[in-house]
A and B are shown apart, each in its own frame.
Chain A
Amino acid sequence: NAGVTQTPKFQVLKTGQSMTLQCAQDMNHNSMYWYRQDPGMGLRLIYYSASEGTTDKGEVPNGYNVSRLNKREFSLRLESAAPSQTSVYFCASTPGGGGNTEAFFGQGTRLTVV
């Protein structure tokens, strides 16, 4: 019963490097999300995908791109990493929009940009 799986769990990047964070869910959920968690800031939405084939900006999208590869997978790409992107990144999924919809989270990716 995997739920939401994120890779990698830890990553150190140099400023200007690029990388892609991978996320996959096995719950047949329609909607997927990327959040970043910073101390004292809670969880802030970067991008989300309401359904396969659609993506939309969240609260803090600058410096990121996303791809909804299929219903299961939703990746987050940093094209040119900056120290301000040092954070813990969480992928989440929900069955769909609206109503009482519990979000299921992955274990997180701890990213450090030096």
Chain B
Amino acid sequence: QQQVKQSPQSLIVQKGGISIINCAYENTAFDYFPWYQQFPGKGPALLIAIRPDVSEKKEGRFTISFNKSAKQFSLHIMDSQPGDSATYFCAVRNTGGFKTIFGAGTRLFVKA
């Protein structure tokens, strides 16, 4: 049973363009929505995260947009750079719990 659906599976963007990755979740008990970035041969690392009491969070070129009523959130990478080429995972975490549930991942390639 897939609790987090992430799209697209892969994405190719020109340098300087905007990369957009989407996630949808099912359980309204989730209260923490992080995005992780993973480079080849490395473990995932936290990129940016949002709580459900705000609709948007921006850190540098990275923005999370959150739509609580639609149970969707997305990652926007502005002015995408070749160094942003990586796999991105959205995730959700349940209230008071210990489990972080990950989406299937999006492989982003930024063309120079």
Please give, as numbers and ranges, the residues of chain A lying within 8 Å of B45 by CB-CB distance. 105
Task: Return the chain A residue nearest B44 by Cβ.
Answer: A105
Please give, as numbers and ranges, the residues of chain A lying within 8 Å of B93 by CB-CB distance. 101
A100 to B: closest C-beta gap in Å: 5
B49 in contact (CB, < 8 A) = yes
Whether A107 lies near B43 (C-beta < 8 A) is yes
Binds A, one of B12-20, B68-76, B99-107: B99-107
A102–B44 Cα gap in the complex (Å)? 11
A58–B99 Cα gap in the complex (Å)? 8
Interface of chain B residues 52 through 74 with chain A (CB within 8 A): none
Interface of chain A residues 54 through 68 with chain B (CB within 8 A): 56, 58
Q: Please tell me the number of chain B residues within 8 Å of chain A, measured between CB atoms.
A: 28
Please give, as numbers and ranges, the residues of chain A lying within 8 Å of B31 by CB-CB distance. 99
The size bracket of the interface on A is 20 to 34
Task: Return the chain B residue nearest A6 by Cβ.
Answer: B43
A92–B44 Cα gap in the complex (Å)? 9
Interface of chain A residues 72 through 107 with chain B (CB within 8 A): 90, 92, 94, 97-103, 105-107
Whether A42 lies near B49 (C-beta < 8 A) is no
Residues of A at the B interface (CB closer than 8 Å) are 4, 31, 33, 35, 40-45, 48, 50, 56, 58, 90, 92, 94, 97-103, 105-108
